[in-house]
Amino acid sequence: MLEHYYVKPSTIDRIRDSWLGSQIENYVGWMEANGYSSRTVFRRLPRLFCFAEFAQKRGCTDVASALALVEDFVSEWLVQHGPEAKTSASLRKHAIDIGNATRQMLRLASGDPVRHNRHRHPFPLESEVPGFQEYLRSECGLMESTIQGYRHHLHEFGQYLRKAGITSFGALSPALLASFIVECAPGMAPCTRRDLCCHLKVLLRFCHREGITDRDLRGAVGMPQVYRLADVPRSITWDEVRRTLEAVDRRTIRGRRDYAILLFLVTYGLRAHEVAKLTLGDIDWKRERFQVPERKAGHATAYPLAGVVAEALIDYLKRGRPETEDRHLFFRVVAPRSPITPATVSSSVAFYLQKAEIKVRKGGSHTLRHTCVQRLIDAEFPLKTIGDYVGHRSPESTRIYTKVAIEALREVAMGDGEAL
């Protein structure tokens, strides 16, 4: 199997003779079976061998304890290869790939099923702040989608602490917290900066309550001003919507998937995470409807399934969606063929807007959502109806069919979509 990637017998022997040699070779077979390209396998092989040597130098020769060394290995790799990287973004991308590949190999070696989902890694700072994830879930009552935002920001905070040489939360200080925010802030949107500060405040409150820190440091984290209408996403015209859809190459698997995604966004004003979460069970073909689970506060909202959307979805299901037991509707088009993420939805929209040469500031999934709202306003639907339709209302008003005639909504959903 390794002979497919290396010509020199000495290189193959070095890999096979390492203490993780058989695990590396088994992982290569697993990647090939799961549709990974030869280029990806070839890129990962030397890094996995380097990890085997890294772990052995630290006295580790068993798979179970090797998992705890992955973060240290990635950090050392970043230090060694940082000067070679063309951009910091490409360096981070490679570091993430190294960490993911190493964990996959070790989990496969230990007999654990390898799952392709974004929650497979331990919750950030779990060893430093035990119980925080459960606190968010049980005491704060947060939804998993909200906790995911905490996961991202805490991961960034943990990386910053490691880089600063901070090994105990007892060493936290106002100056350190301010320095972290200043370093992160330039690349963030105002709302993201606000969320980061809010998440830090909740973390620091929990640390003080649990005695992890001897003082309450929440006051060291200021909340940035965010003006609601300062950065409203701009809509595009219906002619520009047509051009965007025409930019999709429906001869490809990606094109068939993305065409259906774009129609869901612009027809129903869905958010990126709502599209990513759709499952086969959400589509009611017999009644020509579909539902959006947890559209607002855990309640589902039902919509008529427009003919043009149904046709695009059928095309993707027949000639694009992989055969899998996973019930998610939309999947990645490259290995691993796992369900798409909200980021995939938004980046796909941005790609086609650019391809259609439509200039819109911060183009993404919200561009089409905003376009849907604008079209409803132009059609002179009541604002309350529009709010219900796109999920702006409270949980009590999520069932739009109790307030608006189904045929009227069907007209909104269908519009002149047949001409698209």
Range list of H helices, 296-341: 307-319
| Catalytic position from the list 43, 234, 392, 399 | 392
Given this model, what pLDDT does residue 142 score?
84
Look at 142 and 257; give whichever has higher pLDDT.
257
Q: What is the mean pLDDT of residues 38-56?
A: 92
Cβ atoms < 10 Å from Cβ of 187: 8
User: For this structure, is 296 an active site residue?
Assistant: yes
- Is the pLDDT score of 264 beyond 80? yes
Q: Is the pLDDT of residue 129 over 80?
A: yes
- What pLDDT digit, counting tens, does each position of 247-258 carry? 999 999 999 999
Helix (H) / strand (E) containing 258: helix 253-268
- Does this model's pTM top 0.75? no
Instruction: Give yes or no: 194 in active site.
Output: no
- 346-397 confidence digits (pLDDT tens): 999 999 999 999 988 888 998 998 888 888 777 776 666 776 677 765 433 3
By three-state DSSP, how is residue 301 classified?
Answer: strand
Q: Give the whole-angstrom CA distance, residue 328 versus residue 22.
A: 34
Cβ contact 71:99 at 8 Å: yes
Instruction: Considering the candidates 273, 399, 401, 410, report the single residue annotated as catalytic.
Output: 401
Our answer to whether residue 152 is catalytic in this structure is no
Listing from the earlier edge strand, what are the strands of the sheet with 283-284? 283-284, 289-296, 299-304
Q: Does the annotation mark 254 as catalytic? A: no
| Average pLDDT of every residue of the chain | 83
pLDDT level of residue 2 (50, 70, 90 thresholds): confident
Q: Choosing from 199, 366, 370, 375, which is the catalytic residue?
A: 366
Selecting among 271, 277, 370, 393, the annotated active-site residue is: 271
Cβ neighbors of 241 (< 8 A, separation 6 or more) are 266, 368, 371, 420
Give dist(CA 158, CA 380) in Å, integer. 50
Which range of 67-81, 201-215, 406-420 scores highest in mean pLDDT? It is 201-215
User: Which one is catalytic: 369, 370, 375, 393?
Assistant: 369
* Structure letter (DSSP) for residue 300: E
Lowest mean pLDDT among 65-69, 214-218, 226-230, 337-341: 226-230
Q: Judge whether 160 counts as a catalytic residue.
A: no
Answer yes or no: 81 catalytic: no
Q: pLDDT band at 121, cuts 50/70/90? A: low
The Cα–Cα gap between 417 and 202 comes to: 46
What is the chain's Cα-based Rg?
24
Choice among 107, 296, 399, 410 that is catalytic? 296
